[in-house]
Copies of this chain bind each other. A is one copy, B any other.
Amino acid sequence: MSLPHALITALIERPCSGLELARRFDRSIGYFWHATHQQIYRELGRLEAQGWLESLPPEAGRGRKKVYQALPAGRAELQRWVGESRDQKPMRDELMLRLRAEALVGPTAIVDDIARRLQMHRDTLALYQKIELRDFSAADASREQQIQHLILNAGLMLETMWIEWSEKALQVLAAPASE
């Protein structure tokens, strides 16, 4: 149950509407927890019903912008949740599955996918580096900033790792089979 808490976090950082949240999830928060607008709207409804959020304005139906903000109860719940320790969910990477299958029934055009993925990782890395330069150049950072920098660093390191791996993979798959 991470999405509700991701939403409360986002709304404490800055109150906004569902669609704006969806957009913010395509950036910062979404780099580590993706969500679609359908999920977000549904969850916002639940969270409001539970008394963890409130929607400020015009009380109207469809098509009317509703800005949400976190309530003290939501903040308390977030605090409880952060303190709780949980095992990490096992990762799932479809490309690795496909590679393993390719080893059996290949060769196929999977190199193209890896090349495409390499390009995506390069783009993402460039984006993260831009963000780092923009937001985390100051030497005297607050605890909050240091933690956010840490999160960005995980992203930087992950992308770098995948770039390195993809380049290696392309080498191996391009080489003539020695068998």
Contact = CB atoms under 8 A, between A and B. Distances in A.
Given A32-B91, A102-B147, A103-B143, 4 more contacts: A32-B100, A33-B92, A83-B108, A142-B177
The contact size tier of chain A is 35 or more
B82 A101 contact: yes
Question: For A29, A78, A79, A92, which residue has the most chain B Cβ atoms within 10 angstroms?
Answer: A92
Interface stretch (A15-23, A56-64, A162-170): A162-170
Interface of A: 2, 5-6, 8-9, 12-13, 29-30, 32-34, 75, 78-79, 81-83, 85-86, 88-110, 112-113, 116-117, 140-144, 146-148, 150-151, 153-154, 157-158, 161, 164-165, 168-169, 172-173, 177-179
Nearest to A34: B90
Contact of A157 (B91, B99, B161): B161
A101 B89 contact: no
Given A150-B99, A151-B100, A82 B106 contact: yes
